[in-house]
Every structure is written in C-alpha cells, then in structure tokens.
Chains A and B, each alone.
Chain A
Amino acid sequence: MGIKLLPGVHAPHRKNTADMEPVRMPPPAVVKIPMSMNIGRPATPIVKPGQKVAVGEKIGEAGGFVSSPIFASVSGTVKKIEDVLLFHGGTCPAVVIESDGEQTLFEGLQAPEVTDFDSFINAVAASGVVGLGGAGFPTAVKLKADPAKVDFICVNGAECEPYITADTRTMLDNSERLVKGMRMLYDYYKPEHVWIGIEDNKPKAISRLKELAARIDGVDVYPLPAMYPQGGEKVLIHNITGRVVPEGKLPLDVGCIVVNPTTLVTIVRFIETGMPLVEKVLTVDGSAIKNPQNVIVPIGTSLRDVAEFTGGFREPPKKIIMGGPMMGIAVPGLDEVVIKNTNALLFLNAKDAVLPEPTPCIKCGRCIAHCPLHLMPADIETAFQMNKPEDLKALKVNLCMECGCCSYICPARRPLVQTNKLAKGVLNAYNAKLKADAEKKAAKEAAGKEASA
C-alpha cells in the first residue's frame, strides 16, 4: 500500500481475556447513572424519586445538540437524584435506581423506522450512543456529515490498549451486526470504502470478519501491525488512507469518519430491536483481580459490584483504572460507576500501582522517535519549565493527542505527556491573551479613527 506507518510503542499486549466470551452480570441492588457521560452538555433528568422505571426507559433527555439521552439500565424504583463528582472535577446530577432484580423491559421499546440518511441519524441520536472507544463524543453529532464529503469510513477495531478485549469480543460475538452496520454506513454515505482496521494480534477477529465481509460489497478488513496507538483516530486514518488530519481540523475535513465497532453494533442493535445503550461489555483484569474476564454490565453499576461479581480480588487493589493502562483514568475508589464509554476496569496491586520516580532527562530522543505525531516532548517539557508559550506554540503541543507513548518509553521516567497536558493550558492562555490584545488594539485604532474623523 506504500503508506509509511506512523511510529508508536510496542506496549505489552496482555490480552489475557481475548478468548473469554463475556458473561452477563445480574443487576446489582443499586445503580447510579450520571447524567454526564459524554463530551458536551449533560442530559437533564426526567424522572422523579419514587417513579418506577424499566430497562431501556429514558431517564435523561439530551441537554442540547452536542449531548445524548440516557436510559435506565435496570428495572426498579428511582430512589433519588444526587450530585456526583466527575473525573474532571465538576459535578452533575445522577439518577439512583434501586433494582427490583426483574430486568423488565420497557414497554415503549420499539425499533425505529430507518429508511434514509436522516432517519438513520435520528436513530443514532435516539439510541443514546456516544463514542464507545473511550472518547464519549455523541455519535449522532459526528455522523451528521454531508455524505458527499465522506470518502472513507474507518471502523476502529485496533483496540491497541493493553489488556482490553471488549471490542475484540464485540467483533467476534456480534460480527454479523457489525458487518451489517458497516454495510449500512456504506449505503448511507456512499464512500469509496468502509474499512475495519484491526491489529494483527487479533487473528480470530480478522478471519471472522474477512469471511463475512467477503460477501458484501464496499466493506473490507484492513489488518494493521499491533503497535500502540494504532487506534488513535489520526493514526488510524493515516495508516489506512494515508491522509493527514491538519491542525485544528476534524477527520471529516479530509473525507474520513472513524467509528468504534461497539458503537456501531449498539446502533445496529437499536435499529433492529429498539434497545438503546444500557449495558457495556467490560474487560476486568489487572494484577489484583482474581479471575480476569469479560462481563456485560448495566451502566451505572459500581466498580465494587463488578469486582465482586468476577470473584473479587487476589490482592488488595491499590490503583483502579477505568480504561486501558496507556490512556485510562485512575479513579479514587470502588464507588465509582461504569459509564457509557467505560470499556475496561483494571485493578492493580501495590507493586503495579506505584510508578518509578523521574530522573534527569538524558536527551536520548526516544520520545521524539516514538511520537506518532512527530512532536518533541522533551523540548516541550523544557519550554514549559522555562515558561515560554511562544516556544510551545512552535513545538505544536496543541496537536498532542495524549497517547502517552513519550512517558511510556522515557528511560528517565519523565512525566512528558503529563507536562504536555499542562503545557496546552499555558498555550491556550497565551493564545487567548494574544487575541484579547489584538482586539483591544483594533478597538483602540477604531476609536482613534473615529476621533480623528
């Protein structure tokens, strides 16, 4: 194909659970469903304490265009609506539902009628789906693109994070729905091609989907070498189509749409059955967990309940990660709940929880050689420490997708990607100041002109 693949790191795969079909967990006694599980505006709760709800019943209305509705994941009674702390420090209301253990389906569930592009987009919006690969961006907003502009659709089956096999299981266990979804995208967007990019450490998923895709026009499997972050949006687009998403632009600006396979399967399931997004396949793994496995969990279940269901801990957990070890979020305790874009829970023991202390940078250049976007993290760190926003601008820290390759590979254990995140803040403040200064100057000049006139 002649595309020079972007660099990355060979993180350990640790796909211990790849062959384990997910087990459905019985509903926990209580679920707590936050109204903010997506990028954009939170949903507005539309239920009252004491109200009876059933599985799939809407409990939160989308709070605007970039938002997504939320549905009850268990049947039972709404106990209360309380504020919960979110990862980024803000708070949002959460609906607490006491389960009756019946998992009664909501009577109003009905498959939407999808006949054309517009009804397809409406169905996606109504399904409550957000980017399930981890980003959590409302999918309907992303898919609401002018089909004429779309040349390629890439389904992101890379699943390059260590440990996680939730998408792998979706690709294997729901392969027919997945291919059906790809064909749907092909029909509605008429792109040149719909690819599903899969890392070659998932040979079963590749061969299964190849078999199915062979029967359908316009849909193909694109095997990729196992290399983190193969599933980074910009990396996947580049490595499949050769196109580069420019600074400040979206994949759509270069004619590409990227969708996660679980997202697509959830959309197809909604179109087929009317069941919105209420549960997630999770990989539960890590050095502290007794029985690593995949489980199907109602959204809003606490991590404590999930861990207990899998058989508890081998050792006391010291660090809990929602997501993979490269980009996942370390959460403060077992009371956190599974949300829409959770795809893995990793429980690490004391040994794995503590990271080595940083030592002085030896200027080895590994962070540069391994940055998929060809940034210079060590130089960004220096510019940040010297407080030079103009240098940060020239070094393009704003492009950083925070994949963490630099910190992973650094032999001096420097917190490089962490510094990039801070540096972005410094750069944003600097840009805002430049803009404000320019506006002030323009206003002054205009005032001067007026006065002279």
Chain B
Amino acid sequence: MEEMMYVSISPHIRAKEDTRSIMRDVLIALCPAVVASVLIFGFRALLVEAFCVVCCVALELVFERICKRPSTIGDLSAAVTGLILALNLPVSIPLWQALVGCAVAIVVVKQLFGGIGHNFANPAMTGRIVMFLAFSSAMATWAPAATNPAAGLGSWYSPATVDAVATATPLRYLKDGALGGDYTILRLFLGTVGGSLGETSALALLIGGCYLIYRKVISWHTPVAFICTVFVLSLLKGGASFAAAEIFAGGLFLGAIFMATDYATTPSTSAGRVVFGIGCGLITCLIRFFGSYPEGVSFSILLMNILTPYISKWTMSKPLGGVKQ
C-alpha cells in the first residue's frame, strides 16, 4: 500500500517572516538604543535591561504554566516588552521596582487579557505608567548623562555619581519656554542628556526605526504622523528651535517608533495608523504645554490605545468593487 499524501487547502507555501522573526527584528532595532544607553549612563543600564528582559520572559513562562496555556516565550514578544520597559526607566531604578513594572506589563496587561495579540494597551508602556505613578520619586530621578559618551564606558554609573542627583531634564526647561542649562539641540539628538535609558538618543532610535521600516516590520505612518504633529504644534507655539527641541527631547522617538507601532494595540490600516499618530501627537502636546507633567508621550499612547477599536471602525479598508447594500 502506498503511503498516504498530505492534503490541505491552498496556499501550500508560506512567507518566511513569522511572529518570532518580527520580534527578533524589533530586538535588533533596539540594539542601537541599548548601546547608546550604556555609553550615556554606564553599565548599570545593561543590568536594568537584562533584568527586565529576564523578568518578563520568566513571568510569562510561569503564568502560562499556572494557567496550563501553551508557552509563548519562543515568539520573543515577552523579551521585546521587557526591553522596551527597561528603556523607559531611569538608570538608578531599584530592581524590585522594575520587577513590579514587569509584572504589571506581562501579567496584568498582557496575559490577563488573553496573551499576545489580545491586550488592548501596550504592556511596556502601561507598566511604565504604573511605575511612574507608584514610584514617582525613583522614576523622576534622572541621573546626569555623560557629556562625553566615551567616558561612560567602564563606569557603573556615569559620570560616577553613585547617589544619583536629580537633574533637570530638557523637557523641564522646555516647559518654561526654551531650552536652558547647557543643553543644545545637537546634544538632544545624540542623547547625552538626562532621561530614561533608551529615550534620550534620538539618533539611535532613528536608526532602529529605519531598520524596522526597511524590514517592513512597521509602516512609516504612525511615527511620521506622531512626530510631525508634535513638530507642527510646537512650531506654532514656540518657533523652529523650540519645535526641534520638543521632538528630540523626552520619549517621543521611543514612543512613536517602538510603542505607537505595537500591532495589537493600534489600528491595522494605513489610514487608521495616521489618525492614531496624529491623536498621539495632539495629546502629547496638550500634556507637555498645559499639563502638570513635563512628558505626555506614554499617556497619549495609552489614551489612543483605548480609542483604537473606534479608529479601526472608522478607517476600515474599502473593499474593491464593494457595493453598499
């Protein structure tokens, strides 16, 4: 008797990219930001990043074991969440607080809503917001950055201020109307300023963003709409140099490129992504200009995450040849 053949419905071939390769690309795209964080803030940056990645993966594994669900750590999405969360934290963050953030991200925001693809809010960003509200002083303790990145190499904290003193971030100055201290737009672009680990270097994030767009992991729509909206509104408020400082300062690039493009929590059509980006830019500017917090990127993305189902509904793609009935 001849061997049986496999039968299945077409198509009989699949593209190479799968969930795992997409998440791997995101991790690769975050590498420049990781390198920048070590150069700017010292080696403890790497510790925080590694810690968060390990925590997120372990939490996902344990939670899925307890719930008797198949393990999804192989798709690398938990590792991405961990790394993005870490890049949103200051270098001096106590590790137990980082663990709380990871637990919120993976267990509460992701797994309790059904795991990958089912969460309505971005896990890393919601984890950051919870930490921001719960550990407000630790989360706002910005270690001064190395002005000369090479000096950061080899030191634990850089420049070795073990008791990190809070420094005014560029956004704090911008809140008062203009860039102050010894901050320059070039320094903002390169990232040698105080801030979260991965948010300061717009250059590193831009390299990662270009890689993701080149690899077709993300589309340009959300980041461009988001950043342009912030730029235009800032231009109207305070002129060109103010606008340039606004887009390079704070977590705008990190949020626009890596968090506002999260698949599950943002619209999936191009039109929807533009609307989403514009909405994020608008809310960010409202908070930055009129709110009591200096930064509004994460809140803006969270609010727009909540609106995503409605945006998706309004921007449904129009079937070719479809007739209204």
Residues of A within 8 A of B (CB): 6, 9, 11-12, 162, 234, 238, 244-249, 316-321, 323, 325-334, 346, 348, 352-356, 359-365, 368-369, 371-376, 378-379, 393, 395-396, 399, 402, 404, 407-413, 415, 417-418, 421
Contact = CB atoms under 8 A, between A and B. Distances in A.
B6 A247 contact: no
A393 B319 CA distance: 12
Contact of A329 (B10, B19, B21, B72): B10
Given A162-B13, A411-B22, A375 B319 contact: yes
A406 to B, nearest CB: 9
A399 B318 CA distance: 12
B320 to A, nearest CB: 4
B319 A246 contact: no
Interface in B110-130: 115-118
B7 A411 contact: no
B269 A408 contact: no
Contacts of B68: none
A333 B321 contact: no
Contacts of A375: 317, 319
B323 interface: yes
A240 B10 CA distance: 27
A405 B325 CA distance: 27
B8 A368 contact: no
A320 B268 contact: no
A365 B5 contact: no
B66 interface: no
Given A246-B323, A409-B15, A421-B9, A376 B317 contact: yes
Nearest to A412: B19
A397 to B, nearest CB: 9
A363 B12 contact: no
Contacts of B118: 360
A322 B22 CA distance: 33
Contact of B116 (A247, A362, A413, A417): A362
Contacts of A244: 320-321
A374 B322 CA distance: 10
Given A333-B5, A364-B22, A355 B14 contact: yes
A368 B118 CA distance: 18
Ranked nearest first, the 10 interchain pairs of A and B with the lowest CB-CB distance are A365-B268, A404-B11, A396-B319, A330-B7, A247-B323, A325-B12, A353-B6, A364-B263, A373-B320, A319-B6
B318 to A, nearest CB: 6
B17 interface: yes
Contacts of A316: 3
A409 B263 CA distance: 15
B12 A365 contact: no
Contacts of A333: 2, 4-5
B163 interface: no
14 contacts: A9-B15, A246-B321, A319-B7, A325-B11, A330-B7, A353-B5, A359-B18, A362-B19, A363-B264, A369-B219, A407-B11, A408-B14, A412-B19, A417-B9
Contacts of B8: 319, 330, 355
Given A360-B117, A369-B270, A396-B322, A404 B317 contact: no
Interface in B14-56: 14-15, 17-19, 21-22
Interface string B302-325: 000000000000001111111101
A331 B7 CA distance: 6
B7 A374 contact: no
A410 B16 CA distance: 10
B64 interface: no
A331 B12 CA distance: 12
Given A333-B5, A334-B2, A412-B19, A368 B268 contact: yes
Interface of B: 2-15, 17-19, 21-22, 72, 75, 77, 115-118, 219, 263-264, 267-270, 316-323, 325
Task: Name the prevailing secondary structure of the A interface residues.
Answer: loop
A332 B4 CA distance: 7
Nearest to B323: A247
A6 B116 contact: no
Nearest to A394: B316
Contact of B322 (A247, A327, A411, A418): A247
Nearest to B317: A374
Contacts of B269: 365, 368, 376
A399 B323 CA distance: 10
Contacts of A417: 9-11
Given A373-B319, A373-B321, 10 more contacts: A319-B12, A321-B12, A332-B4, A332-B5, A333-B2, A365-B263, A368-B269, A375-B317, A408-B14, A417-B9
B117 A363 contact: yes
A411 B320 contact: no
Given A332-B5, A363-B263, A399 B321 contact: yes
A359 B323 contact: no
Given A360-B116, A411-B22, A328 B5 contact: no
Nearest to A162: B13
Contact of B11 (A248, A373, A408, A411): A408
Contacts of B270: 369
Contact of B10 (A6, A325, A369): A325
B264 A411 contact: no
B120 to A, nearest CB: 11
A250 to B, nearest CB: 11
A321 B6 CA distance: 10
Nearest to B9: A418
Contacts of B77: 362
B10 A399 contact: no
Given A362-B264, A378-B268, A326 B11 contact: yes
- Name, among B12, B75, B319, the residue most crowded by chain A CB atoms within 10 Å (CB to CB): B12
Given A362-B264, A369-B270, A411 B17 contact: yes
